[in-house]
Amino acid sequence: MAGTPGTPRVLRAMNDRAALDLLLEHGTLSRTRIGKLTGLSKPTASQLLARLEAAGLVLATGTTAGRPGPNAQLYSVNPAAAHVAGLDVNTERIRAAVADITGRTVGSFRLPTPHRRAGSAVEQVVQAVDGAAKAAGLGRTDLHRIVIGTPGAFDPSTGRLRYASHLPGWHSPALLDELAAALPMPLEYDNDVNLAAVAEQRIGAARGHDDFVMLWNEEGLGAALVIGGRLHRGWTGGAGEVGFLPVPGTPLVRNVTKANNGGFQELAGCNAVLRTARELGIEVPQGSLPDAAATLLRAAAAAQQDGAEPDGGPYAELLARCATGHAVGLASIVSLLDPELIVLAGDVTVSGGEPLRALIQSELAELAVPRPRLVLGAVEMHPVLTGALESALATTRDEVFDTSR
């Protein structure tokens, strides 16, 4: 904030932000309620609301008519104060959404991108952004900020995407400059698993936790590390790339970037689930590898919960082997980081539900000294996209709600 701490200008800005955060949390509040929640006097609360209304940050949205006592004016954050966009990129599609400053999604767009030709990433991103903005009744220039989630990470020293050789068209050294030239607003980039962890920390299973690991299991296996309330990205952005983590039970793979297999991924990823199912004589369903693995684990969990399978049946064995695979890799992670909490996320692992979670917790207790609590991810709808929007909103609110300038 501009100004000297403790000056009237800075104190007003602090009160303004406190009131705006309360309005975001509660939706609508009266002047009296804002005064009670902030500890401000009625005259000061009135001046604050008048100031925020004049700045276009709050709106008068009705009264408390129909409730006991005299009618009181209600206020809410002006949703049109700013808009942000989030993008979730993978090899098959780009999913985009636009949210207003309150966090409400007001437009979304899905752009299929199979067999994307090299060099087309900028065109595809712009098309996805424009599609989401149009769905929201906005133009590209109405967006305050965009956060893009991709597999891998952009190396801060080179600007090149690393750890994601399977994402065609995203490896040009000029890509970030070309995107910045094509889109007239601040752009930020983050790893898709990191953004899913942002969603879990802000609105999901890790809310209120400053130290946790999120293990993500879908197309690939990855982790997000939150230490002291902040994401740890590593020197090149590669913190959490645990798919090739050497673990017992798999061959030691050298030149892992070329081999593209082995390690933790082969022990607990979707390939491992399908391989184990075949060994146990379970029919593997059609579909993509992660979808087929999720279907199998969902059926196995249902069989356990419904008592439809006798003890020692193939579905029970599938869950047991899957749990051991997860726990072996997690044992190395928790021995190093000693997190308070582990969030099991991604459709493959989450499909195993509580039966799989409980088995992983039990196995991990035997393999590692630290014993963090394990929970299932709670953000069910598009967690990467949700995290991108939450990340964009956090920065945008700091900028837009700063009334000290």
- What is the mean predicted confidence (pLDDT) over 120-137? 96
208-378 and 81-195+384-400 share a CATH fold = yes
Residues 322 and 334: their CA atoms lie apart, in Å, by 18
Residue spans of the domains in the chain: they are 8-77, 81-195+384-400, 208-378
Query: Lowest mean pLDDT: which of 86-90, 160-164, 346-350?
Result: 160-164
The class (CATH top level) of 8-77 is mainly alpha
- How confident is the model over 183-241, as pLDDT tens digits? 999 999 999 999 999 999 999 999 999 999 999 999 889 999 999 999 999 988 889 98
Cα atoms in the 13 Å half-sphere on the side-chain side of 184:
5
Nearest to 143 by CA among 72, 95, 222, 80: 80
Residues 57 and 391: their CA atoms lie apart, in Å, by 20
Residues 381 and 352: their CA atoms lie apart, in Å, by 17
> Is the domain defined by 208-378 classed in CATH 3.30.420.40?
yes
Percent of the chain with pLDDT over 90: 74
pLDDT of residue 269 exceeding 90: yes
- How confident is the model over 69-119, as pLDDT tens digits? 567 889 999 999 999 999 999 988 999 999 999 999 999 999 998 765 545
CATH architecture, range 81-195+384-400: 2-Layer Sandwich (3.30)
pTM score of the predicted model:
0.91
Q: Per-residue confidence at 1, pLDDT binned at 50, 70, 90?
A: very low
pLDDT of residue 356 exceeding 70: yes
